[in-house]
Amino acid sequence: MKKSSMPQYSRVKTCGVQKQGSDYRVVSGILEDELYAMECEICVHWPELTIKTVNAEMKRFTTERCLLAGKVFRDCEGWQIDSGLDGRIKKELGRNGCRHMAILIVDCLHSLVRAELARELQAALLVDAGLDRKEFLNNFLHRNPGLGNYLKIH
């Protein structure tokens, strides 16, 4: 078998969402490749769409600034999930800590919102299999103002 001259590269990124009681969601993220290895865990107060806690841990990194991620990313505790959150995390936190961690946290928060939408849709379909999904989405966005712009749903 002929060996490929192409360099091998692999990156794994995962996001998982857990429901913690009726009011809290915990989203966990992992990113690993040859250069970086990091984990984050974000607790969100769901009815208020507010970040309660953030734990960010760098295992493998390229600059000393990346080591600041654990401390820097705690600054977003109390921030609201809204249309300005992604830019705020990338600009205010990623530049002062680790930009790869910033992107992982943004991906985790998007996964959380999508998971909640899917969770609510699944529960609604159990009650009414003929549910109008467009109406359901409109009701979800009405109950959670700001998420339409956050997910870029118009």
Q: For residue 118, give its domain range.
A: 12-150
Sign of CA dihedral 134, 139, 140, 145: positive
Q: In what order do the strands lie in the sheet with 24-32?
A: 12-20, 24-32, 37-45, 50-60
Predicted TM-score (pTM) of the model is 0.89
How many domains is the chain partitioned into structurally?
1
- At residue 62, does pLDDT exceed 90? no
Q: Give the chain's length.
A: 154
CA-wise closest residue to 143 among 46, 71, 31, 43: 46
Residue 48's contacts (CB-CB under 8 Å, 6 or more residues apart) are 80
With a pLDDT cut of 70, the percent of the chain lying above it is 95
| pLDDT tens-digit series, residues 70-84 | 899 999 999 999 989
Give domain status of residue 42, yes or no. Answer: yes
Q: Are the CB atoms for 29 and 107 separated by under 8 Å?
A: yes
Give domain status of residue 3, yes or no. Answer: no
Give domain status of residue 67, yes or no. Answer: yes
Give domain status of residue 80, yes or no. Answer: yes
What average pLDDT score do residues 123-149 get? 92
Give domain status of residue 2, yes or no. Answer: no
Give domain status of residue 47, yes or no. Answer: yes
CA distance 63 to 65: 5
Q: At what angle do helices 133-143 and 99-127 cross, to 10 degrees?
A: 120
| pLDDT tens-digit series, residues 43-57 | 999 989 999 999 999
Give domain status of residue 72, yes or no. Answer: yes
Give domain status of residue 126, yes or no. Answer: yes
